[in-house]
Each structure stands twice: as C-alpha cells, then as structure tokens.
Amino acid sequence: MNNIEPWNCEGVSARELAERFGTPTYIYSLQTLKARWFAYKNALNALPHLICYAVKANSNLALLTVLAKLGAGFDVVSGGELQRVLRAGGQAQHSVFSGVGKQPWEMQLALSAGIHSFNVESAAELRQLEQVAQSMRLIAPISLRVNPDVDAQTHPYIATGLKENKFGIPMEDALPLYLEAARSPHLRIRGIDCHIGSQLLSLSPFTEALEKILGLIDQLAAAGISLGHLNIGGGLGVAYRPEEIAPSPEEYIAQLQPLLQHRSLTLLCEPGRSLIADAGTLLTRVILLKPGQHKNFAVVDAAMNDLLRPTLYGAWMSIQEAEPSSPTTLAESKVWDIVGPVCETGDFLGKDRQLSLHSDSLLVVTQAGAYGMSMSSNYNTRCRSAEVLVDRGQCHLIRRRESLDDLLATESALPESFHVA
Ligand code: LLP
C-alpha cells in the first residue's frame, strides 16, 4: 500500500481520462504550456526578440494554434511542418526554416508563404535557394547556420554543434559565403544562427557558442556585412531525473544577455522541449503483470512506437502510478521493468522502477510532451495514441485515436488475379 496522491491534469483524474478517451493517450495541460511560454516571454522582455517554437518537438495542430495565439513564431524543418503551422494560424513572417536537406518545392513553399528566414546550412543549399528565388522573381531572406564546434555535453545523437556533425557551416567558411550572398540580387541577408544540440543541462556551451558567433559577427561587420538578427537555436533541457537540475529560461537568457548589450540585434530562439515537455503526459494501462525470478515485467499498452525516447537514447523518464493502490486491488510494491507489447527487447518505457502495481493499474509517464507523439510510429501495426488538451477541467480531444482503416488507407493490396511468377 502506498499513499501517493492520485494524478490529475488540471483537475481531471487519470481514471476519468482513461475511461473517456482510452489508453494509451497523450494528455496536455494548457496552463503548464502557458506557464512555460510566459517564462520565455518574461525572460526576453528587455530584448528585441522572436520566439520560434521548434515544431518537431510536438506538431499537433491544436497545440500550434495555442502557441500561435500566444504570439509564437515557429521553427520548421520541412514543407510539411510549414503547412501545419499555416493551417494552425501561425505566421510565416514569424517563422524560420531549418534543416540540412531542403528541397526546391519546400523552398518555393516557404518563399511564397513569406518566411522570415531560411537557416541555410551549406554552400550548395545557398546556391539552390538563389536559383529557386530567381525563378520565382523573389528575394530569399537568409541566415547562415554556423557550426561553432562546441561540445553540448548531451547524448551523441542530439549533439549538433561539433565539427563532425552534419549540421551547419564551418565558422571559417561563413565569411566568404556571406560575401557571396551579399552579391546576389536574389538573396537578402537577415541574420546568423546556430543550434548546438538538445537537452542541455549546462549553460556554458551556450555561452561558448555565443562568444564564438559574436566574434564572427564582428568580422562580418568589418567586411561590411551587418546582420539584423542572431538566432541561438533551441536546446535548453528539462530535468527528467529527480537528481537533475535544468536551468530556467530566465537563467538561460540572463546568462546570455550581458554578451548582447550594445548590439542592435534581434534575438531569435527556437525552443522545443523546454516549452512543451512538461505540459505532456502519456497515460497508459497495465495489460498484464509478469513477475519472474530474474525480472518483474509490467506489460503496458504504450510501447516504443508511442514513446521512442527510452529506446532510442536510453532516456530515463519518470513513470508513476496514477492512483494510490487500495487494499482491494492487491497491489504489491516491487521493482518492475515497464515494457510495451512490441516484439523487441528494446521496447521499454522504463527499467527497475519501484512501483505498486496490479493487473489494471494506470500509469503516467510525465514530461512526455516533447518528442513523444511527434516521434511515434505504427510499428507492429499499432494505431497511434489519442491526444487530449485539458484546460481548467475541460477536455478537448485534439487527435482521435487512429483506426486500422487509417493505417491501411494508403496501401493497396494486389488484385486476386495477380500471379506471383
Ligand atoms: N532548432 C533546431 C535547428 C533543432 O534541430 C532543434 C532540435 C531545435 C531547435 C529544438 O531543440 P530543443 O529546444 O527541443 O532541444 N528527439 C530528441 C531531440 C531531437 C532534437 C532535434 N533538434 C529527443 O527526444 O531527445
């Protein structure tokens, strides 16, 4: 028996959510999202700025609409994400387009929508963009994404600011490329950007990167190139483990602000995780318990296809019982591996968790709002979860659970008469 408080989202209990919407379901708290947004907004108050939410962290249309209504701009990495932003009521003029492999159709789309700037990642991309702009008789607004060669001290898969990573333009190549861009009538230089990685819990790599980029900005100025904005990317981490401490947006900006004094630059940033992670929870139900001599497994109805972070990065995410166990449920406290039904040993949400579980327990994986639903898949022909936004006790279904028909809609069987030669 354990005396945890029942989990709820803005007053709606896990039990009610599970009964109304089924499991697994992603639940989002509107008030938490708002609080994270205003933490950034207030931190940036004294600076000319633009917050471009990194859509890849969670691209649900309703959440994008909320952010657009709060005044967010967006960081998109594909034509698909840009179309989502536009459908959600977001403004291209306040959005930037990142990514190492933009295709001509995506450039065209962003140019006709009036994107704020392309974060250009290579000489080849710059030349391609110039051609596309020329063919459309438009001028493409650009920022060069430089790679400052800084160790973000994060998981290697999500470190992006090292020389060996595919991202950005080496610092030493930036000046000649800016000069090339300045000569083109089809390109307009707007700024400079970088993004050194994700889930950073230390602020020093951000400072290191910023110092290097400010040095480059001075070099550019000496060569006659002045910039309107400096985009510091995203990357601020969240404290997933109880022993971790994540800097707040306030601390993050306070650390960078002194370096920006006396420079007439608009500060852009592209936070994803630090805006949306805490607002989201994955609600899941135990399917069956499989205690054993070596290991105790709790098989739940969410799996690696719903939440890939533990499998892909070995990420630790908090998993709690959603309700206190009562004497009638016969729950026993044990150390459990929380695993999904997918046929892979790597399919787990958490390992070695001390929990009191019974055969119908509801569990919550908290801080799952970022890179949860957006990285989900249909592996093992599993229909993706529903998503629910809760606003002070009121629930809005913002994505219905997928059906098998949804999954099969794009596939075609061969005709009965087809002969396999
Ligand atoms: N800007 C750019 C150019 C990015 O590539 C990213 C993330 C962001 C902004 C937002 O970074 P954030 O503030 O969310 O750290 N799937 C991984 C994270 C991948 C991050 C990719 N880029 C995870 O679940 O940890």
Q: Are both 83 and 35 inside the same structural domain?
A: yes
Chosen domain end from 276, 296, 321: 276
Q: What pLDDT digit, counting tens, does each position of 75-128 carry?
A: 999 999 999 999 999 999 999 999 999 999 999 999 999 999 999 999 999 999
Within-domain flag for 414: no
415 phi-psi bin (left φ>0, alpha ψ -120 to 50, beta other)? beta
Q: Which residues are catalytic?
A: 343
Q: How many domains does the chain have?
A: 2
What are the CA-CA distances from residue 64 to residues 68, 83, 218, 226, 294 (Å)?
6, 11, 36, 33, 45
Would you say the pTM of this structure is higher than 0.85?
Answer: yes
Q: Are both 137 and 50 inside the same structural domain?
A: yes
> What is the C-alpha to C-alpha distance for residues 358 and 371, in angstroms, rounded to an integer?
29
Q: Are both 13 and 77 inside the same structural domain?
A: no
Rounded mean pLDDT, 27-35 = 98
Residue 304 lies in domain: 8-26+278-406
Which of 52, 55, 56 most suits a substitution to test ligand 1, by most atoms within 8 Å of the C-beta? 56
Closest Cα to atom 5 of ligand 1: 195
Atom of ligand 1 at shortest range from CA of 77 = 3
Q: What confidence score (pLDDT) does residue 1 get?
A: 41
Q: What pLDDT digit, counting tens, does each position of 378-390 carry?
A: 999 999 999 999 9
Q: For ligand 1, which residues put their CB under 6 angstroms from it?
A: 54, 57, 75, 98, 158, 195, 198-199, 233-236, 270-274, 309, 313, 370-371, 375
The dihedral over CA atoms of 17, 19, 24, 29, expressed in degrees to the nearest 10, equals -10
Token code pair at residue 29: 């708290």
Q: Are both 169 and 106 inside the same structural domain?
A: yes
Ligand 1 mean position, distance from CA 110 (Å): 21
Q: What pLDDT digit, counting tens, does each position of 215-262 carry?
A: 999 999 999 999 999 999 999 999 999 999 999 999 999 999 999 998
Q: Are strands 73-76 and 49-54 parallel, antiparallel or unpaired?
A: parallel
Ligand 1 mean position, distance from CA 175 (Å): 26
Q: What confidence score (pLDDT) does residue 391 get?
A: 98
Ligand 1 mean position, distance from CA 155 (Å): 12
Tell which residue, 258, 182, 188, has the closest CA to residue 228.
Answer: 188
Ligand 1 mean position, distance from CA 87 (Å): 22
